[in-house]
């Protein structure tokens, strides 16, 4: 039972992380990522880290907040 609960929790967390990344890409997309090819980055957490750092470095204040939120969610996985 504990294993099932843990797997459900991890799935929910990764689903939330994917939602945050999708939102960031839809709002800021090419403007922030520039020439970064996310398909070459393995794994959801690694992609989320790349997206978050790009938002924080090249985005506005709202992008920075979204980047911090993505990093916090990625750290909880």
Integer CA distances (angstroms), 75 to 16, 38, 52, 63, in order: 12, 19, 12, 18
Hey, what's the torsion of the CAs at 29, 36, 55, 20, to 10 degrees?
60
The residue range of the domain holding 26 is 2-75
pTM for the predicted model, two decimal places = 0.82
Q: What is the pLDDT of residue 64?
A: 96
pLDDT by residue, tens only, the chain of 77 residues: 788 777 777 767 789 999 999 999 999 988 888 888 888 999 899 999 999 999 999 999 999 999 999 999 988 65
Q: What is the pLDDT of residue 76?
A: 65
Domain count, the chain: 1
């Amino acid at each position: 039972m504990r294993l099932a609960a843990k797997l459900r929790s991890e799935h929910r967390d990764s689903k939330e992380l994917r939602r945050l990344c999708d939102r960031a890409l839809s709002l800021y997309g090419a403007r922030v990522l520039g020439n970064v090819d996310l398909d070459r980055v393995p794994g959801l957490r690694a992609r989320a880290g790349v997206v978050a750092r790009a938002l924080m470095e090249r985005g506005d204040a709202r992008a920075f907040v979204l980047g911090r939120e993505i990093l916090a969610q990625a750290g909880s996985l």
